[in-house]
Protein backbone atom coordinates (compact mmCIF):
# COMPACT_ATOMS: atom_id res chain seq x y z
CA UNK A 1 0.00 0.00 0.00
CA UNK A 2 1.45 3.37 -1.01
CA UNK A 3 1.73 6.32 1.38
CA UNK A 4 -0.97 8.19 -0.60
CA UNK A 5 -3.39 5.32 -0.12
CA UNK A 6 -2.70 5.29 3.61
CA UNK A 7 -3.53 8.98 3.91
CA UNK A 8 -6.71 8.51 1.94
CA UNK A 9 -7.78 5.62 4.17
CA UNK A 10 -7.06 7.62 7.27
CA UNK A 11 -9.34 10.46 6.22
CA UNK A 12 -12.29 8.10 5.71
CA UNK A 13 -12.14 6.59 9.22
CA UNK A 14 -15.40 7.48 10.96
CA UNK A 15 -15.04 6.89 14.67
CA UNK A 16 -17.30 7.58 17.62
CA UNK A 17 -15.95 7.49 21.11
CA UNK A 18 -17.11 7.39 24.68
CA UNK A 19 -14.86 8.89 27.26
CA UNK A 20 -15.65 9.07 30.93
CA UNK A 21 -13.74 8.80 34.19
CA UNK A 22 -14.61 6.40 36.97
CA UNK A 23 -16.96 7.89 39.61
CA UNK A 24 -14.96 9.81 42.23
CA UNK A 25 -14.45 8.47 45.73
CA UNK A 26 -17.24 9.21 48.24
CA UNK A 27 -18.52 11.21 49.97
CA UNK A 28 -20.49 12.88 47.17
CA UNK A 29 -20.68 16.54 48.20
CA UNK A 30 -23.75 17.05 45.91
CA UNK A 31 -23.84 19.53 43.05
CA UNK A 32 -24.53 22.72 45.07
CA UNK A 33 -21.68 21.95 47.49
CA UNK A 34 -19.39 21.07 44.56
CA UNK A 35 -20.10 24.60 43.24
CA UNK A 36 -18.96 25.98 46.59
CA UNK A 37 -15.88 23.73 46.55
CA UNK A 38 -15.04 24.91 43.04
CA UNK A 39 -15.23 28.53 44.20
CA UNK A 40 -13.24 27.82 47.38
CA UNK A 41 -10.43 25.95 45.65
CA UNK A 42 -10.11 28.67 43.00
CA UNK A 43 -9.93 31.28 45.74
CA UNK A 44 -7.00 29.60 47.42
CA UNK A 45 -8.93 26.99 49.48
CA UNK A 46 -8.83 29.23 52.59
CA UNK A 47 -11.54 31.87 53.13
CA UNK A 48 -13.21 33.61 56.02
CA UNK A 49 -16.41 31.84 57.11
CA UNK A 50 -18.25 35.17 57.14
CA UNK A 51 -17.40 35.70 53.46
CA UNK A 52 -18.43 32.13 52.56
CA UNK A 53 -21.71 32.51 54.44
CA UNK A 54 -22.54 35.83 52.81
CA UNK A 55 -21.93 34.57 49.30
CA UNK A 56 -23.42 31.09 49.54
CA UNK A 57 -26.44 31.84 51.72
CA UNK A 58 -28.07 33.25 48.59
CA UNK A 59 -27.47 29.87 46.90
CA UNK A 60 -29.26 28.11 49.74
CA UNK A 61 -26.14 26.74 51.42
CA UNK A 62 -25.40 26.92 55.12
CA UNK A 63 -21.63 26.68 54.84
CA UNK A 64 -20.98 26.11 58.54
CA UNK A 65 -23.34 23.10 58.49
CA UNK A 66 -21.80 21.86 55.25
CA UNK A 67 -18.30 21.92 56.76
CA UNK A 68 -19.40 20.38 60.04
CA UNK A 69 -21.23 17.66 58.13
CA UNK A 70 -18.01 16.57 56.50
CA UNK A 71 -15.18 14.73 58.19
CA UNK A 72 -12.27 17.03 59.23
CA UNK A 73 -10.12 15.19 56.72
CA UNK A 74 -12.07 16.97 53.95
CA UNK A 75 -12.72 20.46 55.36
CA UNK A 76 -12.15 22.24 58.61
CA UNK A 77 -12.97 25.43 60.47
CA UNK A 78 -10.07 27.25 62.13
CA UNK A 79 -9.73 30.42 64.14
CA UNK A 80 -7.58 33.35 63.08
CA UNK A 81 -7.53 36.65 64.99
CA UNK A 82 -10.97 35.91 66.41
CA UNK A 83 -12.50 35.05 63.04
CA UNK A 84 -13.60 31.66 61.79
CA UNK A 85 -11.74 30.44 58.71
CA UNK A 86 -12.85 27.68 56.33
CA UNK A 87 -10.02 25.55 54.99
CA UNK A 88 -10.28 22.82 52.40
CA UNK A 89 -8.11 19.94 53.61
CA UNK A 90 -8.48 17.41 50.80
CA UNK A 91 -7.95 19.10 47.45
CA UNK A 92 -7.73 15.79 45.57
CA UNK A 93 -11.21 14.74 46.72
CA UNK A 94 -12.67 18.18 45.95
CA UNK A 95 -10.97 18.32 42.56
CA UNK A 96 -12.44 14.94 41.56
CA UNK A 97 -16.00 15.98 42.40
CA UNK A 98 -15.56 19.40 40.80
CA UNK A 99 -14.51 17.60 37.64
CA UNK A 100 -17.39 15.11 37.98
CA UNK A 101 -19.92 17.97 38.04
CA UNK A 102 -18.12 19.69 35.16
CA UNK A 103 -17.14 22.71 37.23
CA UNK A 104 -13.39 22.43 36.76
CA UNK A 105 -12.89 24.74 33.80
CA UNK A 106 -15.68 27.04 32.55
CA UNK A 107 -17.14 26.32 29.14
CA UNK A 108 -19.48 28.64 27.28
CA UNK A 109 -21.66 25.77 26.09
CA UNK A 110 -22.09 24.41 29.62
CA UNK A 111 -23.75 27.43 31.17
CA UNK A 112 -27.37 26.28 30.65
CA UNK A 113 -27.04 22.49 31.04
CA UNK A 114 -25.23 22.92 34.35
CA UNK A 115 -28.47 23.75 36.09
CA UNK A 116 -29.88 20.35 35.15
CA UNK A 117 -27.11 18.35 36.78
CA UNK A 118 -28.08 16.39 39.89
CA UNK A 119 -25.76 14.77 42.34
CA UNK A 120 -25.10 11.05 42.27
CA UNK A 121 -26.91 10.73 45.59
CA UNK A 122 -29.90 12.74 44.39
CA UNK A 123 -30.17 10.61 41.28
CA UNK A 124 -30.18 7.43 43.35
CA UNK A 125 -32.94 8.70 45.62
CA UNK A 126 -35.09 9.69 42.62
CA UNK A 127 -35.24 6.08 41.36
Partner 1 sequence: MAEEHLPELPMEFEMYLDKPYGGLFGDNVQTKIIEEVVADPYHDYRPKYFEEMTGARAPTVRKALTNLTNLGLLEKDVSDMQHPIYRLNLKAKKIIALTFLSYASIDDRDGTECMDNAILDYYMKVIRQKVQPLAVATMVQYECNGRIWTDKFFAGEGQQYGENVILASGQA
When asked if residue 121 is in the footprint of partner 1 (CB under 8 A), the reply is no
Residues numbered 22 to 81 that lie near partner 1 (CB under 8 A) are 22, 24-25, 35, 38-48, 51, 54-55, 76-80
**Closest C-alpha to 93, from 114, 111, 71:** 71
4, 10, 73, 126: which one contacts partner 1 (CB under 8 A)?
10
Q: Which residue lies nearer to partner 1 by CB, 9 or 123?
A: 9
* Closest approach of partner 1 to the CB of residue 125, in Å: 24
- CA angle, 19 as apex, 124 and 28 as ends, to 5°? 30
Distances (CA, A) of 120 to 13, 43, 97, 99, 124: 36, 26, 10, 13, 6
Amino acid sequence: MSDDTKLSSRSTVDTTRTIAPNPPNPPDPTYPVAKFLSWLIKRGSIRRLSECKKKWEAEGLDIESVVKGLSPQYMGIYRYKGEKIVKLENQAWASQWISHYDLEVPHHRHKKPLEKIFSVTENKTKV
